[in-house]
Structure 1
Amino acid sequence: MSIPFGGYASPEQIMRDRAEYARKGIARGRSVVVMQYADGILFVAPNPSKALHKISEIYDRIGFAAVGRYNEFEMLRLAGIRYADTYGYTFNRSDVTGRGLANLYAQQLGMIFTDSIKSYEVEIVVAEVGDGPEEDQIFRLTFDGSVFDEQGMAVIGGQAEAVAGRLKERYREGLPLRQALDAALAALTEPGGDRPPAAQLEVAVLDRGREHRKFLRLTSSRLERLLEAPAQETAAEAPAEGAEGVEDTTPPAAPPGPPTAPEGDIDTGSAG
Structure 2
Amino acid sequence: MSMPFYVSPEQLMKDRADYARKGIARGRSVVVLQYDDGIAFATENPSRALHKISEIYDRIAFAAVGKYNEFENLRVAGVRYADLRGYSYDRTDVNARGLANAYAQTLGTVFTTESKPLEVELVVAEVGRSPDTDQIYRLSYDGSVADEHGHVVMGGQAESLSRAVEESWRPGMDLAEVVGLAVRVLGTVADGEDRTLAPQQLEVAVLDRTRPRRAFRRLHAPLLAELLGRAAGGDGRAGAAEGSGPGDDAAHELTQRPTPGEPSTTGLETDAAHDGRPTGEHGTDERA
Q: TM-score normalized by structure 1?
A: 0.83
- With a CA cutoff of 8 Å and minimum separation of 6, indicate the structure with the bigger relative contact order: 2
CA distance in 1, matches of 2:151, 2:97: 16
After superposition, where does 1:1-272 map in structure 2 within 5 Å? Answer: 7-190=5-188, 192-233=193-234
**Structure 2 residue ranges without an equivalent (≥5):** 236-288
CA distance in 2, matches of 1:190, 1:209: 32
What is the identity, as a one-letter code, of the residue corresponding to 2:112? T
CA RMSD of aligned residues (A): 1.3
The percentage of counterpart residues that share the same residue type is 57
How many angstroms does 1:194 deviate by? 1.6
- Contact kept in structure 1, 2:85 and 2:94, CA below 8 Å: yes
- State the SS of the aligned residue for 2:142: coil
CA distance in 2, matches of 1:5, 1:17: 22
CA distance in 1, matches of 2:136, 2:147: 6
**Match in the other structure for 1:255:** none
CA distance in 2, matches of 1:6, 1:33: 46
CA distance in 1, matches of 2:188, 2:231: 19
The change in CA–CA distance for 1:194 and 1:88 in structure 2 (over 3 A counts) is: same
CA distance in 1, matches of 2:139, 2:93: 21
CA distance in 1, matches of 2:187, 2:224: 17
**Match in the other structure for 1:246:** none
What is the identity, as a one-letter code, of the residue corresponding to 1:218? L
CA distance in 2, matches of 1:159, 1:230: 24
CA distance in 2, matches of 1:6, 1:122: 32
- State the SS of the aligned residue for 1:34: strand
- Contact kept in structure 2, 1:167 and 1:186, CA below 8 Å: no
How many angstroms does 1:185 deviate by? 1.6
- Contact kept in structure 1, 2:180 and 2:232, CA below 8 Å: no
What is the identity, as a one-letter code, of the residue corresponding to 1:106? A
- Per-residue Cα deviation, 1:94-114 (whole angstroms, up to 9, x for no partner): 000000000000000000000
- Contact kept in structure 1, 2:35 and 2:173, CA below 8 Å: yes
**Match in the other structure for 2:256:** none
**Structure 1 residue ranges without an equivalent (≥5):** 235-272
- Per-residue Cα deviation, 1:34-59 (whole angstroms, up to 9, x for no partner): 11001000000100111000000000
CA distance in 2, matches of 1:6, 1:186: 53
How many angstroms does 1:233 deviate by? 2.9
CA distance in 2, matches of 1:6, 1:188: 48
- State the SS of the aligned residue for 1:57: strand
CA distance in 2, matches of 1:138, 1:200: 25
- State the SS of the aligned residue for 1:187: helix
How many angstroms does 1:182 deviate by? 1.1
How many angstroms does 1:6 deviate by? 6.3
| Worse-matched range after superposition: 217-226 or 188-197 | 188-197
How many angstroms does 1:5 deviate by? 5.9
How many angstroms does 1:121 deviate by? 0.2
What is the identity, as a one-letter code, of the residue corresponding to 1:153? H
What is the identity, as a one-letter code, of the residue corresponding to 2:60? I
CA distance in 2, matches of 1:187, 1:229: 17
What is the identity, as a one-letter code, of the residue corresponding to 1:168? E
**Match in the other structure for 2:281:** none
- Contact kept in structure 1, 2:16 and 2:117, CA below 8 Å: yes
- Contact kept in structure 2, 1:27 and 1:157, CA below 8 Å: yes
The change in CA–CA distance for 1:85 and 1:6 in structure 2 (over 3 A counts) is: same
- State the SS of the aligned residue for 1:53: coil
How many angstroms does 1:143 deviate by? 0.1
Larger radius of gyration: 1
